[in-house]
Amino acid sequence: MGCERVMVGRDVRCRVAQGGAILVLALVVSTAARSDWTFVPQASVRTAYTDNVRGVSTGEEADFFSTYTAGIAAIGNGARVQANLNYSASREDFSSTDDLGGFRQNLLANGNVELLEDLLFFNASSAFSRQTINRNAAISGTNRDLNSNQTDVLNYSVGPTVRFALGPWAFSETRYRLSGTLFDPFGSISAATAVGSNDTLTHAFNQTFSNGRNFDRLSWTATASYSAADTSGDPNAFITRQAQVRGVYRVTRVVSVIASGGYQDIQDNTIVNDSLTGGTWTVGLQLTPGPRTALSVEYGRRFDGSTLVASGSYQFSPNLSARVNFNETVNIQQTAAVSNFNFIATDQFGNLIDTRTNLPISVDDPLFDQTDLNNVFKSNTLSASLVGTRGRNNYTVSLTYSKRDTQATGREQKVAGGNITYGRRLRPGITMNVNGGYNNITDNLAADTQFLNVGANLSYDIAQNLNGSLSYSFIDRSSSVATAELTENSVSLLLRYTF
């Protein structure tokens, strides 16, 4: 890209400038296009109390702190533009703990622009947040500064897509993405606690041909892809090459047969042998018994072993849906986070959601920490969710099981757990929300851990643009290592004004 890294893992201003310039270009083009934009600026003040301000296992301290936040939400919809951006900047001040506090930012944005009608498209996505480094070190049940065990993480992905028809027989899509993961890009976290040496820049190319309108019962795709990730100055440390042909033949209105075959080549200096390179195949069934039901199951061979891929959804009613997914991948954590941008969508209320679960999107995997960044891992993930509304009530139930096998170290991590949220509009302007979650984490090279979190919130519309809320949260971390156990109770009062 014409940039030279001056200091590995720390001087990333050149890469930030590149990604920022491309994102600005996308925004300029999208603004020039005719579209309807909605901007919602807001400001808030939060005053909170916690009985474990540093989030530690021993030597707990209680303190009050205040958080001052300014932010904006922007939604653009037009014939050629779809964009969604949420950004906020906060300042924290602590009453007694003088070494805590400071400035933080949060960003989640996604935009698609049609530059040439039905031919050339451009996508830009970005996420910025503060993440936990080690799940067994200092943590908090509230989003606040701990002055340790945290790092800012910037993920971004930008690039063009070219789509066109090859007569009535086939359809072509060519895609390039420049993406990256940067840790502590603005130097706001001290070098002693930041994961500053694992920045990753990835170039990814994908060419897909699919069936045209002349095919009735048979749907097919032929895909070739290549990606190269430069991790902290180690050029092309993680390279993937894949080719696959996949077909779905509709036997009846309800039943379709699936078959695929291909070849994959995965290279990395942490892979023990060539077990991740070789031929691939799957066979399966796709069931669509009705317009509200879809189920797909495929079994085969990938990554030098048997593989299973499954997905299903059922729409009980317009206000209640269920989804389930199971998949296997091989990745490193940085590129896995960026690939989550592929599953961003917007729900009926304009919120960014994960299409695999129909829940709010989280680009950085909350189930795993940042302690094993550069090693290649094989991941098996099962997720299920139920999302619904009924009258004045809304609720979500999500269950997750995930297993990671790290190639170089032999590390095996398993996470099983779930979350429940329930909200009710008690009366016009007054809303109650409660939530709870539990995760059981086993790790053959680190402590086994159990996380329990419980929270409640009461929100009141004081005036047309002024809202107040009272919140309580409790977290409990149990561990096979006694020094890693901790609890925290916190209470906060928030006032938010939208302009």
* Pairwise CA distance, residues 297 & 255, whole Å: 12
The pLDDT of residue 136 is 87
| Burial (CB count within 10 angstroms: exposed 0-12, middle 13-18, buried 19+), residue 28 | exposed
Q: Which of 256, 318, 253, 309 is nearest to 281 (CA)?
A: 309
287: which strand partners?
255, 295
Looking at the chain, the number of H-run helices and the number of E-run strands are 2, 25
Once rounded to an integer, what is the mean pLDDT over residues 264-281?
81
DSSP state of 340: G
Task: Output the average pLDDT for the chain.
Answer: 87
pLDDT one-digit tens code per residue, 89-121? 999 999 998 888 888 899 999 988 898 999 999
Q: What pLDDT does 422 receive? A: 97
Instruction: Give the helix/strand (H/E) hosting 306.
Output: strand 305-317
Closest CA to 419 of 366, 381, 486: 366
Residue 114, strand partner residues:
121
Q: Diameter of the chain by CA atoms?
A: 72
| Cα 410 to Cα 328, 333, 424, 448, distances in angstroms | 18, 16, 46, 16
Question: How confident is residue 296, by pLDDT bands cut at 50, 70 and 90?
Answer: very high
Mean pLDDT (whole number) for 35-49: 91
- Confidence band, pLDDT 50/70/90 cuts, at residue 26: low
Q: What is the pLDDT of residues 408-437, one digit of tens each?
A: 788 999 999 999 999 999 999 999 999 999
Determine which of 4-8, 118-122, 152-156, 185-189 has the lowest per-residue pLDDT on average: 4-8
Task: Provide DSSP, 394-446.
Answer: EEEEEEEEEEEEETTT--EEEEEEEEEEEEEEEETTEEEEEEEEEEEEEETTS
Mention every residue, 6+ apart, whose C-beta is less than 8 A from residue 396: 359, 385, 386, 387, 388, 419, 420, 421
| pLDDT over threshold 60, residue 69 | yes
**Residue 355: which pLDDT band, with cuts at 50, 70 and 90?**
confident
Q: What is the pTM of this model?
A: 0.85
Helix (H, G, I), strand (E, B) or coil at 13: helix
- Pairwise CA distance, residues 159 & 111, whole Å: 11
pLDDT tens per residue across span 175-221: 999 998 888 888 777 655 666 567 888 999 999 999 999 998 999 99
pLDDT above 70: residue 471: yes
Percent of the chain surpassing pLDDT 90? 58
User: What's residue 195's pLDDT?
Assistant: 66
Q: Topology of domain 13-498, per CATH?
A: Maltoporin; Chain A (2.40.170)
pLDDT of 16 strictly over 90: no
Mean pLDDT is lowest, of 25-39, 209-223, 344-358, 405-419, for 25-39
Calpha distance 378→400 (Å, rounded):
17
Q: How far is Cα 127 from Cα 366, in angstroms, rounded to an integer?
A: 14
8 A C-beta contact, residue 324 and residue 384 = yes
Rounded Cα–Cα distance for residues 241 and 224 (Å): 8
The radius of gyration of the chain's CA atoms, rounded to the nearest angstrom, is 24
Total number of residues shown for the chain: 499
pLDDT tens-digit series, residues 324-338: 999 999 888 888 888
